[in-house]
Amino acid sequence: MHAIRPGLSPATWRKSSHSNEPGGDCVEIADNIPGTVLVRDSKHPHGPALALPATAWTAFVATLSRRQGTCSATRENLSPRR
């Protein structure tokens, strides 16, 4: 996992529909780069982003889903597109 500067890749960003809830905890991902998922804070779109192997992101989302009991919603909104 390493920080990258936005703009260095052709990332297409999207955020979970759950990010529109009050509180401002918004995470965006870009999953259009083969084998990589980029993650950033939507409140700071020009700030740093993390580049994760797609397999690591998938495991992270699956763990969150099990712990929060929001399997389908979390997977639908944050899982990398195939």
Note the pLDDT of residue 71: 45
What would the pLDDT profile of 44-55 be if each residue is shown by its tens digit?
888 888 999 999
State the pLDDT at residue 7: 47
What are residue 6's phi and psi, to 5 degrees?
-55, 150
pTM above 0.85, yes or no: no
Instruction: Outline where DSSP puts E strands in the chain.
Output: 2-4, 13-15, 27-33, 36-41, 49-53
Q: Which two tokens stand for residue 46?
A: 């020009």
Q: Closest Cα to residue 74, out of 27, 24, 12?
A: 27
Average pLDDT taken over every residue of the chain:
75
CA nearest to 16, candidates 80, 82, 81, 77: 77
The domain locations on the chain are 2-78
Instruction: Write the pLDDT tens digit of every residue in 23-42.
Output: 566 888 898 888 999 998 88
